[in-house]
Amino acid sequence: MKIAISGKGGAGKTTISALLCRAIEAQGREVIAVDADSNPNLACALGLPDAERITPLSEMRDLIREKTGSEKGGYGAWFKMNPDVSDIPERFRHVSGKVQLLVMGAITRGDSGCACPEYVLVKSLISYLLLNEDQDMVIDMEAGLEHLGRGVTSKVDVLLIIAQPSRVDCLTASRVYRLAKDLGIKTILGVGNAIRSEEDIDYLRRQVRDFDFAAFFPSSESLRENERRGGSTCAVPAFAERANKLVTDIAGRTNG
């Protein structure tokens, strides 16, 4: 299964991504976790030691020069548009159990016309992983819509759109859905997060009618306290159980 996670910034994409990774791992399967968010925190959510010291690939100047023939931020310069990235997963992965994490990091320019070396490196690597790695993959995408405009997620099996019960989250979720449909993503599901009541669930279903919500995760003070102490997001049993059910649901929909 190749699963991409999208939604508004702060909706809980990284939390859900980490939970899904550990749920797949609990089934005895290896999973590639890709942190493609401009604010990479998936390592922390997975509970990796020294997570804050990980350097994202998009900030590795020597690697960018090696693969593209140009410097980071080299706009308007000549560089390789299709670099060989096949060795990067082995060289730069961070392993935790059966989870192999790759931290992509931010692209300096956010416009859809960005043709900078670091963007080419990141997009090439994600495309390589989607096409060539014969194992489960969870991609924590950057907030908002811009990554969909670039077409990075066009080869995923499932797009999960995370939304909290707020008007802005619901508007973003609907916009992401329309772009995802334009890209031809067949399976698009919602995940409600920070749910406090049945009224919150009803609100999400009323406001977002384009797709089904496959799961709802409650608002949790114990989860927040665990994160403040530097613990893994996946250490709360109730959340792990919901994530396991969500993985089973996704597998059934995609024959994964």
All domains in the chain, ordered by first residue: 2-254 (3.40.50.300)
Distances (CA, A) of 169 to 30, 38, 68, 154, 172: 32, 18, 37, 22, 5
Give the neighbor-by-neighbor strand order of the sheet with 94-96: 94-96, 99-103, 31-36, 136-141, 2-7, 158-163, 187-195, 213-218
According to DSSP, the residues that pair with 236 across neighbouring strands are: none
CA 57 to chain centre: 15
**Cα separation of 77 and 185, whole Å?**
33
For the stretch 172-226, pLDDT in tens is 999 999 988 888 888 999 999 999 999 999 999 999 999 999 999 999 877 777 7
Distances (CA, A) of 2 to 153, 194, 230: 10, 25, 28
Distances (CA, A) of 121 to 148, 159, 211, 245: 17, 22, 33, 35
For the stretch 105-161, pLDDT in tens is 865 444 444 568 888 888 889 889 988 778 899 999 987 666 666 667 778 899 999
DSSP at 211 = S
Whole-model pTM: value is 0.89
Write 148-151 long-range contacts (CB < 8 A, 24+).
148/6, 148/176, 148/179, 148/180, 148/183, 149/112, 149/179, 150/112, 150/123, 151/183
For the stretch 46-70, pLDDT in tens is 989 889 899 999 999 999 999 988 8
